Amino acid sequence: MMLRTDHPANRKHPSGGRLNLLLSYGGWRETPAVEQLAQLLGPLGIRSVTADSGEQAAEIIRELTIHIAIVDLAIPLHRDEHARPGGGRILKLLRRLQPAPPTVIVRPPQPANRESVRGLSEALREGAFAVVDRPVDLEMMLEIMRRVLIRHYAGHWPDA
């Protein structure tokens, strides 16, 4: 899908981007796909804001309009504490927004097919746009982003 750069909805907004993307990262890889995704999408006018904890994601959600969110369920709740995951808290905060942004959930590999299907069904019932198992495939994530733009924003950048 190509977005026309001369369309008024595709011009840069004063905030520095046309679309705000929240990327949460649970620290499961040296060079995560979220960093690569941010580098690829930046030149298109997508402002990627990365959170490395649930509390940091909450701050970002309070300060910035989020158009799309990628939530790693394994993200720690607090920066210095890796015992408690904070992905569930981020999902609850995002669901309270009006309108709630399309959300892509990144989850750890599932030990059994039955648990995988149950978790997938639950996430989709809760409003997730897509559920991705780690390790994240960059091309698949780009395709999901393309589908989000088509389905939720009719192929145009949302109003900032």
pLDDT tens digits for range 102-122: 999 998 887 777 777 777 778
**Cα 53 from Cα 72, distance rounded (Å):** 10
Q: Which whole number is the average pLDDT over 18-29? A: 81
- Domains, the chain, ordered by start: 17-153 (3.40.50.2300)
Closest to 148 (Cα-Cα) out of 77, 111, 100, 85: 100
% pLDDT > 70, the chain: 82
Q: What is the pLDDT of residues 128-147, one digit of tens each?
A: 999 998 888 899 999 999 99
Say whether the peptide bond before residue 99 is cis (omega within 30 degrees of 0). Answer: yes
**Cα 82 from Cα 27, distance rounded (Å):** 10
The pTM score is 0.80
Closest to 61 (Cα-Cα) out of 53, 129, 158: 53
